[in-house]
């Protein structure tokens, strides 16, 4: 697993249950909103600065995901995707990256086609057993509560870039 992590050049994330706690919050008027974790955001920024590209591939469509991605500088954002593997393969063709240079973090069965083919698959503890059994790495933290940060720190640690990212805050 550590060896796989050393070669990752891009990580793609599902949103609900990974970047959020999986709850779907709806107002009486039908507007959807999500709760994101600020620690996750910092981890994503540091991971991007360390040279790993970021992507979001999610089945739902939400304006707040678009805004969150914009604030974090994530330009590869795909919403309303039903075939996540086809979406990823199309993106990788443009980026000229092989599947084994990609990590994917998901939490449910619709993520399995991607998780079974990438170089590093990551999931969260609340994912169904069938998903956890097929993940290379399962975070200790739950989705929306630092799981993304844990995955980012794991990748940077495996690639030897974590200390350099933290050093700027210690100076």
- CATH code, domain with 119: 3.40.50.1000
What single string gives the DSSP state of each residue in 41-78? HHHHHHHHHTT-EEEEE-SS--HHHHHHHHHHT--EEE
Which domain, by its residues, includes 128?
A: 2-162
Q: Is 76 contained in some domain?
A: yes
pLDDT at 1 over 80: no
The pLDDT assigned to 168 comes to 83
pLDDT at 28 over 90: yes
pLDDT at 2 over 80: no
The pLDDT assigned to 32 comes to 86
Q: Is 167 contained in some domain?
A: no
pLDDT at 159 over 80: yes
Q: Is 170 contained in some domain?
A: no
The domain total for the chain is 1
The pLDDT assigned to 3 comes to 84
Residue 16 marked ligand-binding: yes
Q: Is 169 contained in some domain?
A: no
pLDDT tens readout for residues 109-158? 999 999 999 999 999 999 999 999 999 999 999 999 999 999 999 999 99
Q: Is 171 contained in some domain?
A: no
pLDDT at 76 over 90: yes
Backbone angles phi, psi at 64, to 5 degrees: -65, -30
The pLDDT assigned to 138 comes to 98
Q: Residues 87, 78: contact at Cβ < 8 Å?
A: yes
pLDDT tens readout for residues 86-110? 999 999 999 999 999 999 999 999 9
The CB density around residue 157, as the number of other CB atoms within 10 Å, is 13
Residue 107 marked ligand-binding: yes
């Amino acid at each position: 697993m550590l060896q796989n992590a050393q070669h990752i050049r891009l990580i793609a994330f599902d949103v609900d249950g990974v970047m959020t706690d999986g709850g779907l919050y709806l107002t009486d008027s039908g507007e959807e909103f999500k709760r994101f974790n600020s620690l996750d955001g910092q981890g994503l920024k540091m991971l991007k600065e360390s040279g790993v590209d970021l992507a979001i591939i999610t089945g739902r469509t939400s304006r707040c995901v678009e805004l969150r991605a914009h604030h974090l500088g994530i330009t590869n954002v795909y919403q309303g995707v039903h075939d996540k593997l086809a979406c990823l393969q199309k993106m990788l063709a443009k980026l000229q990256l092989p599947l084994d240079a990609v990590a994917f973090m998901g939490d449910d069965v619709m993520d399995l086609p991607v998780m079974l083919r990438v170089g590093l698959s990551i999931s969260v503890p609340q994912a169904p057993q069938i998903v956890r059994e097929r993940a290379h790495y399962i975070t200790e933290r739950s989705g929306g509560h630092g799981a993304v940060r844990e995955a980012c720190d794991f990748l940077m640690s495996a690639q030897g870039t974590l200390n350099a990212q933290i050093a700027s805050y210690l100076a």
